[in-house]
A = this chain, B = another copy of it.
């Protein structure tokens, strides 16, 4: 498996971005590779060679991505290699989960509000607003996603 210099550079740029999203360098570059590679299905050795990473690092990263269901693999009769592929269609689900996670602290904030002294009115109102906003975001997102799914299935 070979890859152009342009694509290699793009993989690095994508890598840096995904690092910023909390992925490790290796994970990030593997995702990048899936995004630019001519093949959908890529073997461990291919990843290892095109990205110049150790086999163990690739294996560990891939297994993390498998757990997170960002990647899956297929097999072929009479071939014991695993052909890894990006679950890119699932990506929207991950965004949903990501947003869910960012408002999951709502419960704790409510607890904080209950525990607060009642005299700090401005602060308490601001905190209350924050919690309400989280509720709002949460409710609106469900709509956002269902709307999108409809919109998507039409075109």
Contact = CB atoms under 8 A, between A and B. Distances in A.
Contacts of A10: 108, 111-112, 115
Interface residues of A, number: 49
A111 B133 CA distance: 34
Contacts of A55: none
A17 B110 CA distance: 13
10 contacts: A7-B115, A13-B108, A35-B109, A36-B112, A88-B126, A88-B130, A91-B130, A95-B133, A99-B99, A144-B144
Given A21-B105, A86-B123, A133-B152, 16 more contacts: A6-B115, A7-B115, A10-B111, A10-B115, A17-B105, A17-B108, A18-B105, A20-B101, A32-B112, A91-B130, A95-B133, A98-B102, A99-B99, A129-B152, A136-B148, A140-B144
